[in-house]
Amino acid sequence: MSLRQNAFVLAVLTALVAIMGAWSGDATLAGLWRLPLGLLLLGLAYEGWMTTRAHLGLTIEPDQRGILGRGGSLQISVQHQLHRDALVELAPEAPALVEVDPTVQLLIAPAGAPAHTHLRITPRRLGEHAWPAIRTRIAGPLGLAWWPKRLATDFRLQVMPEVLRDDARRAGAVSSGAKPRQLAGTGSEVLQLRDYRAGDPQQLIDWKATARSGRLVSRDFSEDQHLEIVIAIDAGRTGALRAGDLDRFGHYANLAARFAEHAIAQDDRVGLVLFADRPLAALAPGRGTSAVVRIRRLLAASKPVQAESNPLNAALRIRSLVRHRSLVVLLTDLDDATVAGQLASAARLLLPKHLPLIAGLASPEAENMRHAVAHSWLDPYESLAAQEYCARLERNVLALRALGAPAVLARPDQLERAVFDAYAGFRQRRRV
């Protein structure tokens, strides 16, 4: 319970009356302070009884499904059973891995109808998050006190990975490779008309165009290109490390979900492998919207585990999952020397049958510290450590490329563009 202005007025009045009675020496006035004090206690008792009759309740409804790393809102409704308007304050709370605007909100809840407000949230971890009880307090009808209540709710927030189709501007790389180059081949779609060349089969001759032009004209058909892609995500211990607004696993999951949606739009087949010290889950490559739905559901139910990653075991699982030549997008860390050795072994195991694209996150903090101006005696040592860290990452990338495995290293906000560009290049150069 917290006293309000009217209660303080009565308390001050009680003190003043008591002082006046003591100074006056009159026995009648000396006991007069009991009157305002009695009114205060009686009023508090009345308010306490009224607030128990209020039966304050709270419900939460999402305006939309939670998207990892994207701001959203929840609608909070407060209702009571009093026959008068009630003043209610809410102190927003959220699960540990969901950021929430902590501003205390004041609501006027009318009689017989709920009061609504919106709470801004930003999920930082995939999966289902049980919402904790929310601290509230209701004002007494006499303006004497706030009466605290902790209101429980059975609301659970389901957080899904990012989507591609409704937020094309974020990727920046969505347009890169969105229209794969068509090459002459044996597909069913006419690519172009050209002059007849000696040796062209008779079925390639376009007789209508030949009749119009007076010379033999042949048709070129587009070559159908349907790739098989496996996205492998490192869900080991380092996946829980923060990298900007999300942890590393969160960045990998968002990229995987959006990349799968983009690749499916090119009529490619996409599968998924989650791994740590061993393969944790696997989905065989599939085509169409159903494949994207399966991938998103698996990602939404996944989180990093406390185990050291072993990409070599993931590579073995990928070899058993796909029989034909495939593009393997391996999202993992490149800053651990031992992991880099396992990455090299995994790349050798996948090559030359498959094409592994290894993508990792660079640290913006380390890159900024690498070139920072020194202001204290400790700054040069921090800069040297950052330079060594960044140089080791670059050496790991070059070592992987020397094996024939394309590798990219980028900041969290640039990794998606790098992977999309590499994918577009592979399609155009027919590397898969």
Sheet holding 127-130, edge to edge: 66-67, 156-160, 127-130
Q: How far apart are CA 383 and CA 374, in angstroms?
A: 8
Least confident of 42-46, 127-131, 409-413, 427-431: 427-431
Res. 273 pLDDT band, cuts 50 70 90: very high
Query: Is the model's pLDDT at 293 over the cut of 90?
Result: yes
Query: Is the model's pLDDT at 180 over the cut of 50?
Result: no
Q: 382 by DSSP, 3-state: which?
A: helix
Q: 238 by DSSP, 3-state: which?
A: helix
DSSP symbol at 354 = S
What does the pLDDT average to over 103-117? 91
Res. 43 pLDDT band, cuts 50 70 90: very high
Query: Is the model's pLDDT at 321 over the cut of 90?
Result: yes
Query: Is the model's pLDDT at 164 over the cut of 90?
Result: no
Q: How far apart are CA 347 and CA 329, in angstroms?
A: 11
pLDDT given at position 168: 44
- CA 410 to the chain's CA centroid: 18
DSSP symbol at 83 = S
Res. 169 pLDDT band, cuts 50 70 90: very low
Instruction: Copy the structure tokens of residue 414.
Output: 């640039």
Q: Percent of the chain having pLDDT more than 70?
A: 91
Q: How far apart are CA 385 and CA 370, in angstroms?
A: 8
Taking all residues of the chain, what is their mean pLDDT, rounded to a whole number?
A: 87
Query: Is the model's pLDDT at 175 over the cut of 60?
Result: no
For CA atoms 150, 151, 155, 158, the dihedral sign is negative
For the stretch 358-393, pLDDT in tens is 999 998 888 888 888 888 888 888 889 888 888 888
Res. 222 pLDDT band, cuts 50 70 90: low
Q: Percent of the chain having pLDDT more than 90?
A: 51
